[in-house]
Amino acid sequence: NAGVTQTPKFRVLKTGQSMTLLCAQDMNHEYMYWYRQDPGMGLRLIHYSVGEGTTAKGEVPDGYNVSRLKKQNFLLGLESAAPSQTSVYFCASGRDYQETQYFGPGTRLLVL
Amino acid sequence: GQNIDQPTEMTATEGAIVQINCTYQTSGFNGLFWYQQHAGEAPTFLSYNVLDGLEEKGRFSSFLSRSKGYSYLLLKELQMKDSASYLCAVMDSNYQLIWGAGTKLIIKP
């Protein structure tokens, strides 16, 4: 069991470029989440999914889009990157909304 | 608004006991989680409280008082590997986790 994996681990973008972060889980979890973590702040929920084909907005969704075409994958897209999106992005998954969330290793994104 | 407060940083000695406090004000309450996060790594689950009282799990214990909006994480027999950030998170009425900024725990020999 790999658990939750994320690619890439690190990326540098220029302002205005686009990219997709990939999250994959092999635990057959229904729920998947994308968070960002910034210094001095708690994790903030960007988008989440309660099952294949569903997505919903979290606390800070602006500038991001997501897709969950397959149960095991949850993609986070940045259409036009901005320096304010420099952060560490974590994906997480869970069996149910009240269950423990399992986190991937994170993607460090730097937008210049 | 929703708010989770925990100390920014704490220092303790190897072998000692430390208590990390968390106070919260959220729209609804559906449980409180504690996670551990080593520098540069992912958060990992430590404990979950939904009812008042103490939950013990080895060297770690977590306490909850819903009426006071208060929880603490107690770490006993501290080891150097316990140096990490400890994140408090509350599940609100929408079943979304609201996270504190974390407490960085420094263990000195």
Average pLDDT, chain A: 96
Q: What does DSSP assign to residue B43?
A: -
Give the pLDDT band (50/70/90) at residue A2. Answer: confident
Given B42, B91, B95, which is nearest A103 (Cβ)?
Answer: B42
Kindly report, residue by residue over A88-102, the tens digit of the pLDDT.
999 999 998 888 999
| Cβ within 8 Å, pair B101-A42 | yes
Both tokens of A25, joined, read: 């889980």
Sheet bearing B53-57, strands edge to edge? B3-5, B18-25, B70-75, B60-65, B53-57
Lowest mean pLDDT among A39-43, A100-104, B38-42, B82-86: A39-43
Q: What is the pLDDT of residue A99?
A: 85
Residues B22 and B7 sit within 8 Å (Cβ to Cβ): no
Position A27 pLDDT exceeds 90: yes
- Does A106 contact B at CB distance below 8 Å? yes
- C-beta of residue A111 within 8 angstroms of C-beta of residue A14: yes
- C-alpha A59 chain-centroid distance: 13
Residue B95 has pLDDT above 90, yes or no: no
Q: Does B98 touch chain A (CB under 8 A)?
A: yes
Give residue B72's pLDDT band: very low, low, confident or very high (50, 70, 90).
very high
CB atoms inside a 10 Å sphere around CB B8? 10
Burial of A23-55, coded b for 16+ CB within 10 Å and e otherwise, reads bbbeeebbbbbbbbbeeeebbbbbbbbeeeeeb
Q: How many A-B residue pairs are in contact by the CB < 8 A criterion?
A: 43
> What is the rounded distance in angstroms from the CA atom of residue A16 to the CA atom of residue A82?
6
Mean pLDDT throughout B8-36?
97
Contacts of A38 in chain B (CB under 8 A): none
